[in-house]
Amino acid sequence: MTSGIVGFGAYVPRLRMSRQAVHQANAWFAPGLKGKAKGERSLANWDEDTITMAVAAARDCLPPSHESRALSGVVLASTTLPFADRLNAGVVAAALDLDETVSALDVAGSRRAGLSAVNLTLDRVRQGEAPVLVAASDLRISRAASASELEFGDGAAALLLGSENVLAERLSSSTLTVDFVDRFRQSGEDIDYVWEERWIRDEGVSKIAPKAAAEALRKAGLSGAEVDHFIFPTSLKGMSAQVARQLEIKPEAVVDDLADRLGDTGVGHGLLLLTGLLPTARPGAVILMLEFGNGAEAVVWRTTDRLAEWTPQRGLAGWLERGVTENNYTRMLAYRGQLELEKGMRGEQDKKTALTTLHRHRRAIMGLVGGRCTQTGSVHFPPSRLSYDPQGAALDTQVPYPLADRPAHILSWSAEYLSYYPSPPHHYGQIDFAGGGRILMEFTDVAPGDVEAGTPMEMVFRVKDRDQTRRFTRYFWKATPVRAAERTN
Amino acid sequence: MASGIKDKVAILGMGCSRFGERWDASPEDLMVEAYTEALADAGIGPDQIDAAWFSTHMDDVGVGRGGTPMGIALRLPFIGVTRVENFCAGGSEAVRNAVYAVASGACDIALALGVEKLKDTGYGGLPLPSVGTLIPQWYPNAVAPANFAQLASAYQAKHGIDRHDLKRAIAHVSVKSHANGALNPKAHLRKPITEEQVLNAPIIAEPLGLFDCCGVSDGAAAALVTTPEIAKALGKTDLVTFKALQVAVSNGWEMHSNAWDGSYVHTARIAARRAYEEAGIRTPREEIGMMEVHDCFSITELVTTEDLFISPEGGAIRDVLDGFYDADGKVPCQIDGGLKCFGHPIGASGIRMLYEMYLQLKGRAGERQLGNPKFGLTHNLGGQPSQNVCSISIVGGYDG
């Protein structure tokens, strides 16, 4: 049975932090980082996390929520899962409004968890079953004035894995588990502790990673010279070229790691690079993917003739073009909770979430599903037993009506500086959906001047509030301008 | 068909505290200030009051819940005291209950009193409301200025008006109210301002600047109501009676159909039509002599003049800039300074509006006294344009 990739999507947050701006702010303290102060790194908005980015990447490879989204499973790989006990992949499934029969699994623990999740999933894909979504996402925090702060980026990737209409089949895979501790993060900690780079390079990566890759190539019956594309995400400069040499892979096969434009996005980075490569790969191309982290994981793919038939909603290239340069270093610190700005008394508001209420309204809140009256066609959010009708309220006539992917525009809006909001001014307004439905919603990824009455908007799944007292993240949907894939600065 | 409230109930006496940042006064003190003035004006004693309705909005600041805070503060003679709450329209709601109690014959004299102590929060603007367990999970953490500012974006889009022209018109609304408020010794804000000041003020909620927003004030207001017959028997002359008292509450049409265009307040139009019919007014632009509208924000006042059918739809900007609503205009609006300058202690505001109409009709408005208004209208709005409570009352001289 052939199994492999049957769909793919990506997500990169809109903000691109200027490394020069970061360095300028910290140069007094860490002048030695000047060499890394080039290009940009992606920066998640304050209301994004591993889960929301995974949802965005998943939506990039799925049909609209009001059409059929048959999946048999959701796997989320990350080392920065927001919840230790609440199925993070389950939150993704809820946001995607998937049927409750879907399986869900979190995969964590190493930087190769993305590829581990792919291999684990493909090992159990069965013919005739709906595809499994594997999303890999990370939002890693680094200490101010550290190298990681400049090297990291935020982002996510998603693959649909299945056995029908395969775009790239898995020829082989290989895993090596070595408790090589180049960096670590104890449970409950936010920031990695990192050992000397030269040791990691010489004793770790260059000894462990090629072994896994060579084994995968051997299983596939291929030589390094036959590899058309080599994906090996690492923030160690020149490392992927060195490993390619060790494997006798031609230098031009090494896939650019997008360090200049994105940074190293963590667990999702390898898959993200893959989603960027696939649209340009020829049918029959051999792709070797390698990931390092407490051992190494490798996969050999071969693209099929069907590859040209697939396009993600935006894809990595589209997301890359959609960025906006951020030059405020303190914004980055504040968004990651590393700089305590004065919130004022309005910031003292309790954000306790009634979990009973959340459960009762879970499809509305998590999946943005309204209710459509079968008699009048009016759309209600949240759904209600009584529908509005000028001739009289109809009882129990509403059926679920997903809104997340329907065209929408602004009816009315404002942007205010009064309430506490992590990214002022706080934009919100009435959103009208084509075909019915209206919600007063927050806007996100907006700056003054971006919106007016009539602006087309799309829905994104984001963090609504963070309850700092009980450490609970509340999610909901927000509206953001539909943006062409043009770079704005 | 119901016969309506017209001329069934008269105002026996009214009182209103000085509004403002009353650092000196507790909510109980404010209640006493309004109540004692109303009692003296009515010329009655506490034991002549049969029942009372008490309006206050905020629970966390002020006096908390229930009727006891007022019963105890005013040492009322163990009569029924009912707390009513209907957002910023609570004051009018207290009056409506008291008026209906008298009209029913259940009470001879009833008291309506509203109070709000907003300046014990420690910050500017309104306290943050509690809204249950579902709404915070999806609704934006919205504030009043942005809720009402949305009227501006939709009004501009509907009528094809650019931001500058709208800003100028709503600036005139505020300049006019400041000029009026300067003449009112009980008003919170008593400094005249210029159009330039309004236009250059920092933005609070696009496009509303600081001077487009009303005062956040402490204060209390009280009304004693009775039948015209009892008022006369108590020696009152030149009675002011209720001609109409209407409330319309949103049912979700604004949010759960896509018909509302966001540029006006639907309930205001419904309540206005009902009120004019109850009062027998056919040409409001000609017959309404003055009005106190819910000018929580300048844009609210502008669209309200259309919602009340005083200005034609799309014609408010011209009327405002022509001075139609100025103190010397055809229909003076906010002659006491309005919410903008008299201030907005939420639970008291509806009764404060009535207080000004009462003073004007009685010829007791001092420096700001108008000529000879026949009908005065109050428009008291609670909530936000998309879902709200709108109360409209019309009062005038009694011919009976």
**How many structural domains comprise chain B?**
2
- Residue ending a domain, among B233, B263, B286, is B233
B138/A464 CB distance under 8 A: yes
Q: B133, A354 in Cβ contact below 8 A?
A: yes
**Which of B88, B107, B213, B296 is labelled catalytic?**
B88
Whether B380 and B273 map to the same domain: the answer is yes
pLDDT computed for residue B215 by the predictor: 86
Residue B259's identity, in one-letter code, is A
Whether B293 and B358 map to the same domain: the answer is yes
CATH of the domain at B34: 3.40.47.10
Q: Does any domain span residue B137?
A: no
Q: Does any domain span residue B5?
A: no
Domain extent, residue A112, equals 4-335
Whether B208 and B316 map to the same domain: the answer is yes
Whether B246 and B286 map to the same domain: the answer is yes
Strands A394-395 and A386-387: antiparallel
Whether B196 and B96 map to the same domain: the answer is no
β-sheet bridge partners, residue A174: A298
Q: Does any domain span residue B115?
A: yes
Domain extent, residue B101, equals 10-121+218-233
Minimal Cβ distance to A428: which of B146, B156, B256? B146
Q: Does any domain span residue A226?
A: yes
A440/B255 CB distance under 8 A: yes
CA distances from B195 to B167, B292, B323, B326, B383 (A): 10, 22, 14, 14, 28
- Residue ending a domain, among A281, A315, A335, is A335
A303-362 residues touching B, CB cutoff 8 A: 344-346, 349, 351, 353-354, 356-358, 361
pLDDT computed for residue B228 by the predictor: 98
Whether A163 and A274 map to the same domain: the answer is yes
Q: Within a 13 Å sphere around the CA of A240, how many CA atoms are in the beta-carbon half?
A: 22
Query: For residue range B138-180, what is the model confidence (pLDDT) as tens digits?
Result: 999 999 999 999 999 999 999 999 999 999 999 999 999 999 9
Whether B243 and B350 map to the same domain: the answer is yes
Whether A125 and A204 map to the same domain: the answer is yes
CA distance B206 to chain A (A): 5
- Residue ending a domain, among A290, A317, A335, is A335
DSSP category for residue A126 = -
Torsion of CA A233, A238, A244, A250, to 10 degrees: 110
Q: Does any domain span residue B114?
A: yes
B138/A382 CB distance under 8 A: yes
Q: Does any domain span residue B245?
A: yes
* Site of tokens 């996100």: A444
Whether A180 and A316 map to the same domain: the answer is yes
What ipTM score was computed for the predicted complex, to two decimals? Answer: 0.95
In 3D space, the residue among B392, B385, B156 whose CA is nearest the CA of residue B260 turns out to be B385
pLDDT computed for residue A423 by the predictor: 97
Whether B171 and B226 map to the same domain: the answer is no
**How many structural domains comprise chain A?**
2
Q: Does any domain span residue A395?
A: no
**Which of B57, B294, B344, B379 is labelled catalytic?**
B344
Whether A132 and A13 map to the same domain: the answer is yes
Q: B92, B393 in Cβ contact below 8 A?
A: yes
DSSP category for residue A201 = I
pLDDT computed for residue A335 by the predictor: 98
Minimal Cβ distance to B149: which of A357, A414, A432? A414
Reply yes or no on whether B164 is catalytic. Answer: no
pLDDT at A263 over 90: yes
Whether A21 and A141 map to the same domain: the answer is yes
Reported as a pLDDT band with limits 50, 70 and 90, residue A489 is: very low
- Residue ending a domain, among B233, B260, B280, is B233
Whether A350 and A238 map to the same domain: the answer is no
Q: Does any domain span residue A108?
A: yes
A476/B138 CB distance under 8 A: yes
Report the C-alpha gap between A76 and B178 in whole angstroms: 59
Q: Does any domain span residue B136?
A: no
pLDDT at B128 over 90: no
- Residue ending a domain, among B171, B203, B233, is B233
Whether A163 and A297 map to the same domain: the answer is yes
Average the pLDDT over A282-288 and give the result.
98
Whether B170 and B229 map to the same domain: the answer is no
B133/A356 CB distance under 8 A: yes
Residue B145: closest C-alpha in chain A:
A416
Whether B262 and B222 map to the same domain: the answer is no
Q: Does any domain span residue A390?
A: no
CATH of the domain at A143: 3.40.47.10
Candidates B123, B128, B141, partner chain A, best to mutate (most A CBs within 10 A): B141
Strands A40-43 and A386-387: unpaired
Whether A299 and A422 map to the same domain: the answer is no
Q: Does any domain span residue B70?
A: yes
Minimal Cβ distance to B150: which of A414, A439, A465? A414
pLDDT at B276 over 80: yes
Whether A416 and A297 map to the same domain: the answer is no
Query: For residue range B1-39, what is the model confidence (pLDDT) as tens digits?
Result: 699 999 999 999 999 999 999 999 999 999 999 999 999
Element containing residue A208 per DSSP (H, E): helix A206-220
B262/A465 CB distance under 8 A: no
Q: Does any domain span residue A328?
A: yes
Whether B113 and B259 map to the same domain: the answer is no
Tokens encoding A203: 């004793």
pLDDT computed for residue B382 by the predictor: 97
Q: Mean pLDDT of all residues in chain A?
A: 96
User: What is the full DSSP assignment across B319-331?
Assistant: HHHHTTTSTTSSS
Whether A205 and A325 map to the same domain: the answer is yes
- Residue ending a domain, among A335, A357, A379, is A335
CA distances from A165 to A71, A162, A303 (A): 15, 8, 11
Whether A312 and A182 map to the same domain: the answer is yes
Whether B208 and B329 map to the same domain: the answer is yes
Whether A278 and A412 map to the same domain: the answer is no
Average the pLDDT over B76-90 and give the result.
97
